Amino acid sequence: MSGAIEHDDALALLRAMVRIRRFEERCVELYSAARIRGFVHLYIGEEAVAAGVLDALTADDDIVATYREHGHALVRGVSARSIMAEMYGVQEGCSRGRGGSMHLFDVEHRFFGGNAIVGGGLPIAVGLALARSMQAREGVVACFFGEGAVAEGEFHECMNLAALWRLPVLFCCENNLYAMGTALARSESEPDLVLKASSYEMPAWPVDGMDVIAVRDGARRAIEGIRAGGGPHFLELRTYRFRAHSMYDPERYRDKNEVEQWKARDPIPAFVERCAVTTDELAVIEREAANEVDDAVAFAEAGTPEPVTDLTRFVTSEPGRT
């Protein structure tokens, strides 16, 4: 169990987690009602990871995420309105409806996308960090990916390159134990992820991803190391996905008891109890989150589909772009 925390800081972390949870619960309803389509990958159960890591970053740091990135975008400050509108496929969406759930982008918030190719975001993160290094800009690039990415060649290429060039990348491996339906031990000859990362001469350690303070403190420690010139760091954030992989997942690959055991470690109620959050405080957070989601849905419902005549926009840059 991690250390003490100021009460206001605790409320901020709790607010972040609750916002993600309520936003995504609404996504499920909207998906069932066919208001949003495509793939929707829920982060429910894993909220402490995004809430904790992003709390340790500054507004100048860069973020590269995966297709399970609603939570990271929300906590980063991408508006719930623009995320919901993106899922509705309207031009008020953060990617103008061109990306959908898996491709949330907001350059103003230095949020360089949800990437739906497992491992595909890691080279981009290395490049963002290379530019920082060459431009002598401070700051770090936080790169999120699941443990499934560890089996990809791009993971190993990027760990090596980032360490070789001592680039300021915080590799955040969200280990939820299953790459879609494939358990880690069924896909890795060496399932110890920290050992793998360490073999690239990179500081690496495991973190309890169900404990938001542990996540925040682990990220802070890693970021301090990076800022001090220690090169890339690797965190294995041990967490669990409470819901299906995506929307078409009968969950034949995992035991119901296992899911229930992890749900007993739900990062939100445990944190409420531990930080002695009062009923009134929690009610305020819940009400704000509900209002935010209602407002986002109303905004998305009122959104405007992009004209079909604009179909081929953004394939190449428009005149004047440099």
Partner 1 sequence: MIAPGSTVKLTYREAMREAMREAMQRDERVFLMGEDVGRYGGCFAVSLGLLEEFGPERIRDTPLSESAFVGAGIGAALAGMRPIVEIMTVNFSLLALDQIMNNAATLLHMSGGQCNVPLVIRMTTGAGRQVAAQHSHSLEGWYAHIPGLRILTPATVEDARGMLWPALDDPDPVLIFEHGGLYNTSAEISESPGAVDIDRAAVRRVGRDLTLLTYGGMLPVTLAAADELAAAGVEAEVVDLRTLRPLDDETIVESVRRTHRAVVIDEGWRSGSIAAEISTRIMEYAFYDLDAPVERVCTAEVPIPYAKHLEEAALPSAATVVAAAQRTLGRA
Residues that bind partner 1 (CB under 8 A): 62, 91, 93-99, 103, 105-107, 112-113, 115, 117, 120, 122-132, 134-135, 153-154, 157-158, 160-161, 164, 312-318, 321-322
Residue 4 or residue 134: which is nearer to partner 1 going by CB? Answer: 134
Helices (H), 165-229: 184-187, 193-198, 212-225
Residues 294 and 292: their CA atoms lie apart, in Å, by 6
Helices (H), 33-97: 47-55, 70-76, 80-88
> CB of residue 64 vs partner 1: minimum separation in angstroms?
8
Residue 110 or residue 243: which is nearer to partner 1 going by CB? Answer: 110
Nearest to 104 by CA among 67, 151, 136: 67
Q: Which residues, listed in sequence order, are joined to residue 169 by a DSSP beta bridge?
A: 141
> CB of residue 18 vs partner 1: minimum separation in angstroms?
28
Say if CB 143 and CB 64 are below 8 A apart.
yes
> CB of residue 282 vs partner 1: minimum separation in angstroms?
36
> CB of residue 11 vs partner 1: minimum separation in angstroms?
32
Look at residue 142 and give its three-state secondary structure: strand
> CB of residue 122 vs partner 1: minimum separation in angstroms?
7
Residue 18 or residue 118: which is nearer to partner 1 going by CB? Answer: 118
Nearest to 40 by CA among 244, 179, 239: 244
Residue 97 or residue 218: which is nearer to partner 1 going by CB? Answer: 97
Residue 92 or residue 147: which is nearer to partner 1 going by CB? Answer: 92
Tokens in use for 75? Answer: 């906590």
